Amino acid sequence: MAAAAHATAVLLGARNEVDRAVLSPALATIPGVDLPTLAQDVATLLGGGTLATPEVLDVREIPHGRRHPRIFGIYARLTPGQSFVLVNNHDPKPLRREFDATHPGQYTWEYLETGPTQWQVRIGHPPQPA
């Protein structure tokens, strides 16, 4: 039993080292990845919880440098056919270009409101073909 426990501890230690040295740096290079939120999501899932996907994401109060990672994090949680509504104080054209670059043909984009002080866009994963 002691040998099995030691082997398990060694294996988990090696896995943690790979996560730290390889996985985390690789994830950090992906556009839109928010590592602290990702780590929190993993902890939630490991603890038996589920990840919520908001129906509406209002980013007007989120600092500019944190908006896109938050949006892409929500998008990554969507299953085919699901969507959310993004609320912003400007036309999110730069975000759409980023979606085009990172998820070409793999997302839906529908303007619901187009200013002048508020924009709403439904962003989603297209349904899978039957």
Q: Summarize pLDDT for 75-106 with one digit per residue, the tens.
A: 988 888 999 999 999 999 999 999 999 999 99
The confidence score (pLDDT) of residue 14 equals: 83
* 8 Å CB contact between 118 and 71: no
Most confident of 45-54, 60-69, 94-103: 94-103
Residues 6 or more apart in contact with residue 126 via CB below 8 angstroms: 80, 81, 106, 107, 108
CA distance 24 to 27: 5
Q: What is the mean pLDDT of the chain?
A: 86
SS3 63: coil
Predicted TM-score (pTM) of this structure = 0.66
Q: Across-strand partners of 57? A: 86
Q: Give residue 4's pLDDT.
A: 86
